[in-house]
Amino acid sequence: QVAVEAKGATKIFGTGEEAVHALDNVSVAIRENEFFTLLGPSGCGKTTLLRLIAGFELPSAGDILLAGESVVHLPPYQRPVNTVFQSYALFPHMTVAQNIAFGLEMRGISKAETAARVEEMLALVRLGKLGGRKPSQLSGGQQQRVALARALANHPKLLLLDEPLSALDLKLRKEMQIELKRIQLDTGITFIFVTHDQEEALTMSDRIAVMSHGKILQIGTPTEIYEHPTSRFVADFIGETNLIDVALGARSNGQMGLKLPGGREIAVPLPQGVALGDKGTVAIRPERTSLTRDADRQLAGKIENIVYFGTDTSYFVTLADGKTFHVRVQNREGARMGFDKGEEVGIRFATDAAQ
Ligand code: ADP
Ligand code: MG
């Protein structure tokens, strides 16, 4: 069941030379009960897409549908959508309970029903006893919980969250990531979550849309996005990756030859549905590679630098084409191989690690 759909959504700010294409023909369908994340660098159009869904902006072209019905003619307050912003935007002179009750009273909900909803929301966000406090008497994380409670109090069908955790410090942010996920599961409300933090997107989302320059480049589960990036941008933006320029060789039986820097050739599964020339780029994750002194290797180079991380170690190896290749291996006790800086080594990876 589709909760929200953007169809060819386009937003252009300004005109003529000054025109900014904030969103360029974006189409995406977000399912009910989904934790869906818009991920991309600053300025790629994430907030603009949320504002179109909420109704704060009108699309220049295209359509926004909620539960199958176009809503572009509806003002924000008539859409079953609420938004949580990075700045919590709480009313400072009101108590926590009054902040949560505010929207309900505006909608003419009875006093008894409002009081019951406030209790329900305080329990949901685990602020049970703090209803009487003012926002200034709360920590940043607690204020964020109040903002969430206020946005959920009128039981919206859809909650939009625009970088809600980016003002929190790392420890609190991790804690709130788990809390947000729990609240989404408890309420069953569709969440559209915006972040520029790829790790946050990977750990929290059912599906992710990766955006760049007003376009959606790829939509998929965290595993699909991480393990099968379909573009150089996505491979590079999500996690760390080695991008290697290769010459494409013979194709047969669903396999394709790749000529690697240094001259070795490997066979990889032929990608489906893409037009291939005679050159390409493969992406190889550092953690799917290892170092070797054996002849059984795909690449070779010289160790330029070694960085110890406790659980694993990174080796930065300069290849034949002069580029640096990152190999990351887990540190298991007794498995120390003693590779040194300056040593000539081989790099090994399974061919299914090359995307
Ligand atoms: P993000 O949230 O991904 O950082 P935004 O959606 O805020 O990106 O912005 C996308 C692009 O549109 C940016 O280039 C931004 O400067 C521009 N933009 C956003 N809002 C406006 C506006 N009201 N007027 C003009 N340009 C805007
Ligand atoms: Mg933004």
Question: What is the pLDDT at residue 143?
Answer: 92
CATH number for the domain that contains residue 215: 3.40.50.300
Of 191 and 277, the structure prediction assigns the larger pLDDT to 191
Residues 156 and 29 in one domain: yes
- Closest residue by CA, ligand 1 atom 22: 13
Question: What is the pLDDT at residue 282?
Answer: 85
Determine the distance separating the centroid of ligand 2 and the alpha carbon of 38, expressed in angstroms.
10
CATH number for the domain that contains residue 311: 2.40.50.140
Residues 19 and 49 in one domain: yes
Residues 138 and 27 in one domain: yes
Note the ligand closest to the C-alpha atom of 49.
Answer: 1
In this prediction, residues 73-91 reach a mean pLDDT of 91
In this prediction, residues 252-266 reach a mean pLDDT of 86
User: 122: number of CA atoms within 13 Å, CB side?
Assistant: 20
- pLDDT tens-digit series, residues 161-183: 999 998 888 888 999 999 999 99
Give the confidence band of 274 by pLDDT, cuts at 50, 70, 90: low
- Closest residue by CA, ligand 1 atom 15: 43
* Ligand 1, atom nearest to 14 Cα: 25
Residues 201 and 324 in one domain: no
Residues 34 and 139 in one domain: yes
Question: What is the pLDDT at residue 135?
Answer: 94
Question: What is the pLDDT at residue 336?
Answer: 58
Q: How many domains does the chain have?
A: 2
Pocket, ligand 1, Cβ cutoff 6 A: 13-14, 20, 22, 40, 42-48
Strands (E), the chain: 2-13, 20-31, 35-39, 61-66, 69-70, 81-84, 158-162, 190-195, 207-212, 215-220, 242-252, 255-259, 265-269, 279-284, 289-292, 299-308, 312-319, 324-330, 344-349
Highest-pLDDT range among 74-88, 187-201, 243-257, 266-280:
187-201
Question: 29 is in which domain, residue-wise?
Answer: 2-232
Of 331 and 2, the structure prediction assigns the larger pLDDT to 2
- pLDDT tens-digit series, residues 303-350: 999 998 888 899 999 998 889 999 999 887 655 568 999 999 999 987
Where does a domain end: 232, 253, 272? 232
- Closest residue by CA, ligand 1 atom 23: 13
Residues 186 and 45 in one domain: yes
Residues 184 and 321 in one domain: no
Cβ neighbours around 162 below 10 Å, total: 20
Residues 200 and 310 in one domain: no
Question: What is the pLDDT at residue 192?
Answer: 98
Give the confidence band of 86 by pLDDT, cuts at 50, 70, 90: confident
In this prediction, residues 8-16 reach a mean pLDDT of 95
Lowest mean pLDDT among 59-63, 122-126, 132-136, 330-334: 330-334
Residues 92 and 168 in one domain: yes
Strand order in the sheet with 20-31: 20-31, 2-13, 61-66, 69-70
Mean pLDDT, the chain, rounded, equals 91
Residues 148 and 263 in one domain: no
**pLDDT over 70 percentage in the chain:** 97
Where does a domain end: 232, 263, 291? 232
Residues 14 and 114 in one domain: yes
Token pair 């972040």 in the structure block, residue: 195
Determine the distance separating the centroid of ligand 2 and the alpha carbon of 117, expressed in angstroms.
30
Where does a domain end: 213, 232, 251? 232
Residues 67 and 215 in one domain: yes
Cβ neighbours around 317 below 10 Å, total: 26
